[in-house]
Amino acid sequence: MAKKRLPRKAHFHGPRHGGKTRNDNPAESLDNDILALLYQSIAPVSVNDIAQELATSDSEKKSLEKSLEMLLQENNIKKSGKRQFVLSKNALMYEGILEQNPRGFGFVSQRTSMIDSPPLSKDPFIPASRLKSARQGDKVLIRVQRLRSDDRPEASVVKILARGTEKLAGFFSHDARGGMVVPEDLRFSFTVLVDPNAHPELRNGDAVIVKIDPADQSFRTVRGEIVEILGSPDNIDVQMRMVIQKFNLPHIFSPEAEQEAAMLPEEITAEQGREDLRKILHVTIDGETAKDFDDAVAVTRTRKGFRLYVSIADVSHFVTPGTALDKDAYERGTSIYFPGRVIPMLPEKLSNNLCSLVPHLDRLALTAILDFDRVGDLLDKRFTRSIIRSHQRFTYTTVRKILIDKDAEICTTHKSFLAPLKVAGELAKALQKMRRQRGALGFTLPEAEIELDNEGRIAAIKRAERNFAHQMIEEFMLAANEAVAATFTEQKRKSLYRIHERPDPEKVREFSIFAKSLGLQLPEVENSPHWFAMVLDLCKGSPKEYIVNNLLLRTMQQARYSPENVGHFGLAATDYTHFTSPIRRYPDLMVHRELCRMFGINAHSMRAKDTPMSLKEAGDFLSGRERASVNAEREMSDRLKLLYMEKHLGETFSAIISGVNESVFFVELLDLFISGSIAVEDLSGDHYFFDARHHRLTGEIGRKVFQLGDTLQVVATSVDRGRNRISFEPLSDTDKSLTSKTKRF
């Protein structure tokens, strides 16, 4: 069956009552009310029922009849019987979540349609004049009116189905007019009026959580009450609480989940049917500050090559489907990591104790046992429920000192592990070479690591270290994930895959044109991992490496969870899933349960009624939770960078130009990975022209050039917390004798 296509001009003939364009037009509002009623009705609705539901008076019935007639002509509704109506599939109506821009307009994401309207390739645009009284995060019913020249649907809000936000983080102020809270999230363009006498201890500027009066449908000001006082926004924990509120992150376990966790046993006992792998020399390798250890590895040499053990904490043993623990974990979807803080997916008794592979204690696991030849080809694979014991907790730094630095003192301390680690390093190099040969992509985007002092203040921001030990563990985890996914495919088992679809060919073409403007001589464009890998290799070690990696990454689609296995483009893998982190990712827990079913274990009597959602619904929901987590972590990092830069205004930094347009160019500090901007109007001494083709600004008189990918010295001039913005200016020629990061007065 051919897919329905969205028409270039939908069945909408523009405003037809007096030429108004706002959706507060009474006649257009009546149209929307009729469409909303029919959309939400299962059976056909009569004219009398419509009039009764909409509380139409006798004098208004002519308008109702006229609206029905026009909606029939536009093919938005159709008759069902003599005086009954149903919604036409041509109505192009969808429900979804409003994502509002601070400038007023919005887009609608996470769309569904109860009338099987054709799928939309882009999120519909909603002009500010057609939002009704909808706010950021509301679930809304929309009606697509037209398809713009850029293939973006344009729509209007027909009805608000559910308010998305009951509580907001904001800043309190008190003046002669009374108390008010200004939402911290600029997407909420109203002020909340509160009783200033309810909390006399509050000071102007304090951060609070305010609850909005649901009955107040006002636009510019709404009534509310302060339900939580956070304190000074300079405090890191206050910033974290505001991020939690902004992204609506579940962060408090239900009493039922806490009780279930408390009732779990304190000790691990071996149970019948588990393979005893306690004598295998498992070790954990993690970062210095890690508290939960969900993976342990061991590598032995075999006659044909290597045997790899990847043992993952058996969370499925403790978290039964349908329990409060399970429901809370699913709602969170993932653990969220902030600098020095974490919102765990599971209570501490599980994440830091029973399901953490701490050294020298027995722990329950699911183990992938993989045999490879000497060049890294997989020869055999099997999986087992096991009981293991980690024999040593290593950090990445320690393993680097053993394998790379050959540190004599460290090697002596860990003498009994030198040979196994050496074998593990050999296997990791073979696996890495195999992945590169098949076209797996190796992006080299450095990340910032924010260090806090004992009082929770920012001590330093530096480049996060990534050494061979990180790569070694990554190769082992990738190998285990692929092996599990391949097994599911071979046995036609139903589970969630981690998929990464091919990039949009048009985006790849645009990137190739852009890359040529930077002087890169690219091979003929192919939408394949091999082509992407060649591009990355071409710019490796060059000044353009950071920019090319960044922009090439933007052409990629987002990886997501799905029961439909379409492969993983970035890894050049035909089968991939997430198996290795069930402490902090719910999809991994689902994969473990499917493995248990494969072993013939009924995953703790898992019944259909315990999992009402389909795998597709679960995949979509958990992909959304992952995106929320990534966005929240990025936001928290950006907030801390703003706090940091407030204390370093006037200092000089090395930067790279990461974007250019006619009014501003963007820079990223090379040592701190902090982004900011320089306004063209602030460039003194010349008038600059924008060259879009070459992504550069050129001075009319001095011919000075600011081009994408160029490095330069910049001075931090201001920080705007409200807009999450840091402003810089280029270091002038007369100031270039100053040492980097010295104060200017």
**In the chain, % of residues over pLDDT 90:** 58
Find the mean pLDDT for residues 402-422.
95
- The answer, yes or no, to whether residue 745 has pLDDT greater than 60, is no
Find the mean pLDDT for residues 142-161.
90
Exposed/middle/buried for residue 310 (C-beta within 10 Å: 0-12, 13-18, 19+): buried
Q: How many CB atoms lie within 10 A of CB 631?
A: 13
CA distances from 177 to 172, 173, 193, 194, 196 (A): 13, 10, 10, 11, 10
pLDDT at residue 8, as a whole number: 41
pLDDT: which is higher, 370 or 700: 370
Find the mean pLDDT for residues 712-719.
95
Q: Which residue has the tokens 């959706």?
A: 23
- Same fold across 26-162 and 648-735: yes
- CATH of the domain spanning 26-162: 2.40.50.140
Q: Kindly list the domain boundaries of the chain, sorted by start residue.
A: 26-162, 167-233, 258-496+570-633, 502-556, 648-735
**Average pLDDT in the chain:** 88
pLDDT at residue 518, as a whole number: 75
| Rounded Cα gap, residues 218 and 215, in angstroms | 9
- The answer, yes or no, to whether residue 569 has pLDDT greater than 50, is yes
pLDDT at residue 428, as a whole number: 97
**In the chain, % of residues over pLDDT 70:** 93
Q: How many CB atoms lie within 10 A of CB 657?
A: 22
The pLDDT confidence band at residue 18, using thresholds 50, 70 and 90, is very low
Listed ranges 586-595, 666-675, 722-731; the one with the highest mean pLDDT: 586-595
| Rounded Cα gap, residues 38 and 33, in angstroms | 9
| Rounded Cα gap, residues 143 and 130, in angstroms | 10
Find the mean pLDDT for residues 374-383.
97
CATH superfamily, domain 167-233, is Nucleic acid-binding proteins (2.40.50.140)
pLDDT at residue 380, as a whole number: 97
The pLDDT confidence band at residue 515, using thresholds 50, 70 and 90, is confident
DSSP helix, strand, coil percent of the chain (3-state; round to 5):
30, 30, 40
648-735 is classed CATH 2.40.50.140: yes
pLDDT at residue 734, as a whole number: 52
pLDDT: which is higher, 346 or 76: 346
The pLDDT confidence band at residue 26, using thresholds 50, 70 and 90, is low
Tens digit of each residue's pLDDT (9 = 90 or more) over 218-265 = 778 899 999 999 999 989 999 999 999 999 999 999 999 999 999 999
End-to-end, the C-alpha distance of the chain in Å comes to 71
- The answer, yes or no, to whether residue 216 has pLDDT greater than 50, is yes
Q: Which residues, 6+ apart, have CB-to-CB distance to 409 below 8 Å?
A: none
- The answer, yes or no, to whether residue 317 has pLDDT greater than 60, is yes
HSE value, Cβ hemisphere, 13 Å, CA-based, for 468? 17
